[in-house]
Amino acid sequence: MTPVVRHASLAALAALAVLFAGRGAHAQAAAPAALSVPGDYTLVWADEFNEPGAPDAAKWSYDTERNKAGWHNHELQYYSQGRAENAEVRDGKLVITARKETLSSAADWGRQRYTSARLLTRGKAEWTYGFFEIRAKLACGKGTWPAIWMLGSQGGWPAGGELDILEHIGHQPGRVFSTVHTAAGSGASGTGAATQLADVCGSFHDYQMLWTRQSIRFGVDGVAHFEYTNPGTGPARWPFDAPQFLILNIAIGGDLGGRVDDAALPARMEVDHVRVYQAGYPQERPQARP
């Protein structure tokens, strides 16, 4: 979720505003023409969200570790755990809902006035390379910040790398963007690109990423809008030969989310499916931890 700012200066935050206004690294990427599952790839992991109720605990856990201290980027949400009001499967979809409410009775409450959920596959499924497709309809409204992204499970941030498949800021309706973060370029110095869609809130789209040893390509509905190429200079710019785990969440407010329109809440991100395809050789099999 671009960026994971842990120690941001005022200058860095100002740079973020420039970056996501359409300049900086996001304006420099060339756009490849197409994006699809390679013919020699097979489906190795998926969640079709066919079982109503709580998200499948064998595949997903909840990230709540910074509720008390406060989340990165000055975000305003409290991430709940096992709470249907914020994350449940219904009608064949995972529904993540951000709400204006205060859970002051929770032991880890950090004085947040909003709730949401952040689901992740960390410790359950992690992958090195592959084609990733997440079909989703996004949360919208000023102050919302839905994201579909991945983090390296080794080396910490940003050394372990971050792959933002999809982010959307409610203050910029329809503008979806993808970003790569490494030790050599993270936060405001991340590298990525954006594309404009007319109906991200009203319709489902396939948000996709093809990650190989040579490059990482991002796109929507089979059309790529950004490619990051392995420069061959080592892990500072290419930490992407190691496992990453998947994250789905809606953040509220913060340095990129901006001022919140409470009337826009509750806001929902609906996920129809998550699918991961990989080539048949061992290096691209999913790496799952016990």
Does the residue 12 lie in any domain? no
Q: How confident is the model at residue 188 (pLDDT cuts 50, 70, 90)?
A: confident
The pLDDT value given to residue 215: 98
CATH number at residue 215: 2.60.120.200
The domain tally of the chain equals 1
The predicted model gives 224-251 an average pLDDT of 97
162, 227, 270, 284: which is the annotated catalytic residue?
162
Does the residue 51 lie in any domain? yes
167, 227, 270, 284: which is the annotated catalytic residue?
167
3-class DSSP assignment, residue 74: helix
Residue 167 a catalytic site member: yes
- Looking at residue 147, its amino acid is A
Does the residue 3 lie in any domain? no
Q: φ and ψ at 25, to 5 degrees?
A: -60, -30
3-class DSSP assignment, residue 19: helix
Are 63 and 248 in contact by the 8 Å Cβ rule? The answer is: no
Question: Lowest-pLDDT range, 28-32, 100-104, 178-182, 273-277?
Answer: 28-32
For residues 204 and 93, give the distance between their C-alpha atoms in angstroms, rounded to a whole number: 11
Does the residue 19 lie in any domain? no
The pLDDT value given to residue 280: 79
Structural domain containing residue 250: 29-284
3-class DSSP assignment, residue 25: helix
Report the alpha-carbon angle 10-15-17, nearest 5.
Answer: 100
Does the residue 265 lie in any domain? yes
The pLDDT value given to residue 71: 97
Q: Which two tokens stand for residue 285?
A: 């099999």
Does the residue 1 lie in any domain? no
State what percent of residues in the chain have pLDDT above 70: 86
Report the alpha-carbon angle 220-222-226, nearest 5.
Answer: 60
Does the residue 289 lie in any domain? no
For residues 121 and 36, give the distance between their C-alpha atoms in angstroms, rounded to a whole number: 23
Question: Lowest-pLDDT range, 8-22, 122-136, 164-178, 213-227?
Answer: 8-22
Q: Which two tokens stand for residue 98?
A: 């951000």
Does the residue 231 lie in any domain? yes
User: Rounded to two decimals, what is the model's pTM?
Assistant: 0.89
The pLDDT value given to residue 208: 98
Residue 162 a catalytic site member: yes
8-state DSSP, 80: P
8-state DSSP, 101: -
Beta strands in 70-190 (DSSP E): 77-79, 87-90, 93-100, 114-116, 118-120, 130-137, 144-152, 162-168, 175-181
For residues 166 and 147, give the distance between their C-alpha atoms in angstroms, rounded to a whole number: 6
The predicted model gives 163-180 an average pLDDT of 97
The pLDDT value given to residue 33: 74
Torsion region of 123: left, alpha or beta (phi above 0 gives left; psi -120 to 50 gives alpha): left
State what percent of residues in the chain have pLDDT above 90: 84
